[in-house]
Amino acid sequence: MDSLGLFAAFTVGLLGSSHCLAMCGGIGAALGVRSSAQGTLTADLALYALGRVSAYALLGLIAGSLGAGLLLAAPKLLFSLRLLSGGLLVAMGLYVMGLWQGLRRLERVGARLFTWARKVPLPQQGPLAPLLMGGLWGLLPCGLVYSALALALSSGNGLQGALLMAAFGLGTVPAVTLATWASAPVAQLLRQPRVRWVAGAAIMLFGFWTLSHPGPGDAARLAPNLSFSSALGPLGRDCHDCVA
């Protein structure tokens, strides 16, 4: 796994927290009030975070596996996937800075796909309730999440995609958790123009880095003898060596 890629995903989640609060601040506040009323706020905060990060990791596993299949069928798509992920990160940076709102269209499409999830019955009591609510929370349509998913897709590996999205989710935990615990002060801080500009500019830099940085295993995927084992990453190579 490319540790720099994990750091980039974590930092994108951390810096994009101002956008997370704009999308999820109301949800976090409502869940915080609910848990406080039940006297389970501290435990529920951890379970909300665990459920949300787990949902992101699952989405990353799906995206990375899809990317592996695409690259196995057409290795030259690698550059297109890197272009997609880097471009979305740049667009997300502009979005966070308030300079371009084009990603709202993508969020509206995701909102239609999310309609079914809102109808899923969830338990109201016990530790399973906040865990499942956190998981459902992670499926909310969000341009920041879609940008990170494009990065997972371009990794071309299910495990790497899951780890990238888990790192991204962990990056969002501090601000979202604080917003759930004390929503007004944290939201006010992260919505300040200077904070949003710094965060947006940093996300754009990661986008440009993604466009120029070769992903893990890129050389192997572009080799003439591309095989299923090479698309699986280190695990596939180890198995290939064992067979040989």
% of the chain beyond a pLDDT of 70? 67
User: What local confidence, expressed as pLDDT, does residue 183 receive?
Assistant: 54
Residue 87 to residue 92: CA distance in whole angstroms:
9
- Which amino acid belongs to residue 148? A
User: What local confidence, expressed as pLDDT, does residue 167 receive?
Assistant: 95
pLDDT at residue 1 above 60?
no
What lies within 8 Å, CB to CB, of 1 at 6+ separation is: 159, 160, 163, 216
- In angstroms, what CA-CA distances link 200 with 11, 88, 94, 110? 11, 12, 6, 22
Tokens in use for 217?
């295993």
User: What local confidence, expressed as pLDDT, does residue 221 receive?
Assistant: 44
Buried b (16+ CB within 10 A) or exposed e, 28-60: bbebbebbeeeebbeebbebbbbbbbbbbbbbb
Spans of all domains in the chain = 3-243
- The count of C-alpha atoms lying within 13 angstroms of the C-alpha of 60, restricted to the half-sphere facing its C-beta, is 26
User: What local confidence, expressed as pLDDT, does residue 170 receive?
Assistant: 94
| pLDDT class of 126 with cuts at 50, 70, 90 | confident
Pick the residue with more confidence: 178 or 154?
154
Per the prediction, the chain carries an average pLDDT of: 77
- Which amino acid belongs to residue 242? C
Tokens in use for 174?
């501090």
User: What local confidence, expressed as pLDDT, does residue 62 receive?
Assistant: 96
75-110 per-position pLDDT tens digit = 888 888 889 989 998 998 898 888 888 888 877 777
- Write out the chain in H/E/C secondary structure: CCHHHHHHHHHHHHHCHHHHHHHHHHHHHHHHHHHHHHCCHHHHHHHHHHHHHHHHHHHHHHHHHHHHHHHHHCCCHHHHHHHHHHHHHHHHHHHHHCCCCCHHHHHHHHHHHHHHHHHCCCCCCCCHHHHHHHHHHCCCCCHHHHHHHHHHHHHCCHHHHHHHHHHHHHHHHHHHHHHHHCHHHHHHHHCCHHHHHHHHHHHHHHHHHHHHCCCCCHHHHCCCCCCHHHHCCHHHHHHHHHHC
User: What local confidence, expressed as pLDDT, does residue 29 receive?
Assistant: 64
Tokens in use for 220?
């192997």
Q: How many other CB atoms are there within 10 angstroms of residue 194's CB atom?
A: 7
